[in-house]
Amino acid sequence: MLNKVAELLKEVESFAAKNIEELEQFRIKMLAKKGAITALMSEFRNVSNEDKKAFGQQINNLKQTTQQKIIALKEQLDQTINSSNKKMDLTRSAEQVQLGARHPISVVRNEILDIFSRIGFMVSEGPEIEDDWHNFSALNFPPEHPARDMQDTFFIEKEVALRTHTSSVQVRVMENQTPPIRTVSPGRVFRNEAISARAHCIFHQVEGLYIDKDVSFADLKQTLMYFAKEMFGEKTEIRLRPSYFPFTEPSAEVDVSCNICSGKGCNVCKHTGFLEIMGCGMVDPNVLENCGIDSSVYTGFAFGMGIERIAMLKYQVNDLRHFFENDLRFLKQFTSAY
């Protein structure tokens, strides 16, 4: 009996399998219900009492060795299968690389900056957390002006707030540079407004400033007309309506002819043929003086627009919230050189 165990052990040790099928057959031959090792175990009761212990140990050893051998062989075979699968197929076509795209707000901001840089405007940026001086006081906001109210402005401390416009950057530029100054200031701004299809508490602006000797309202008009035609097309017309801002005098709202109906009148322009795109005006002499610029020598103009608004008009987006939701189906539609 012990001989038989030894014979089987030898067979197990010398066994090699070429493939999974051979290994499976070997497992059945040894370990299945009718296999050789199972058969040996049923001989156990025929073994004399004094041999039982030795036989028991031997047969257990045989069983374990067989099981381990099968596991080891299986691992080996699996590995060779995997590595043969890794062979490269050099004729396969390459996988497509998915390129990302800029966010439409970045695209439009870059386009606006590009249009103004072509006529000599530099780009200036400043902090999103501003003090009262740069956001309000230097810009000629009277102390009791409603825009300072908690309803429009996110205050952090009494004199510190999230900027409500990027005019604050222009104050910093005027304080630190001597005219001539030509600058555009892009950036995020914050206002305590309910979120809707037309408004958001966070949005983006580009504001412009030009200060030099003899800058006139006619220069402002020409600059805005140049911008409108570059942005919305050669046939675009502009219209200025009198308005009020604390930091400009005179002030105006700028409309462009509706790029959907070309001024004929449609739902988007509410049948007026025009769409409002920004505020503008001649820099108030008080603002120049506040920033250390001699208002008897220099004059200037300023303008400011919301990037979301320009993007909505240019791409006919009807809900401002799309720009903040990052839905890929929306974003994928914007690919651009900008």
Least Å distance between CB 242 and ligand PHE?
12
Q: Which of 104, 263, 281, 300 binds ligand PHE (CB under 6 A)?
A: 281
Cβ closest to ligand PHE, residue 12 vs residue 139: 139
| Locus of tokens 């240019």 | 314
Secondary structure of 103-168 in HEC code, one letter for each residue: CHHHHHHHHHHHHHHCCCCEECCCCCEEEHHHHCHHHCCCCCCHHHCCCCCCEEECCEEECCCCHH
50 SS3 class:
helix
Tell me which residues in 182-221 interact with ligand PHE (CB under 6 A): 207
Q: Which one, of 166, 133, 194, lies nearest residue 303 by Cα?
A: 166
Q: Which of 26, 203, 227, 303 binds ligand PHE (CB under 6 A)?
A: 303
Beta pairing partners, 40: none
| 169 is a contact residue toward ligand PHE (CB under 6 A) | no
Question: How many residues interact with ligand PHE (rule CB under 6 A)?
Answer: 12
Judged by CB under 6 A, which stretch of 61-69, 72-80, 254-262, 279-287 contacts ligand PHE?
279-287
Q: Which of 179, 186, 263, 304 binds ligand PHE (CB under 6 A)?
A: 304
Cβ closest to ligand PHE, residue 58 vs residue 135: 135
Q: List the x/- string, 137-166, binding to ligand PHE by CB under 6 A.
A: ----------------------------x-
The Cα–Cα gap between 133 and 152 comes to: 17
| 55 is a contact residue toward ligand PHE (CB under 6 A) | no
Residues in the chain: 338
Residue whose C-beta lies closest to ligand PHE: 304
Judged by CB under 6 A, which stretch of 1-9, 220-228, 269-277, 298-306 contacts ligand PHE?
298-306
Is there a cis peptide before residue 104, judged by omega within 30 degrees of 0? no
Least Å distance between CB 303 and ligand PHE?
5
The Cα–Cα gap between 54 and 36 comes to: 19
The Cα–Cα gap between 31 and 40 comes to: 11
Give the alpha-carbon dihedral of 171, 176, 179, 181, to 10 degrees: -60
CB distance 251 to 220 below 8 Å: no
Tell me which residues in 242-261 interact with ligand PHE (CB under 6 A): 245, 248, 251
Cβ closest to ligand PHE, residue 167 vs residue 299: 167
Given the rule CB under 6 A, which residues bind ligand PHE? Answer: 165, 167, 207, 245, 248, 251, 279-281, 302-304
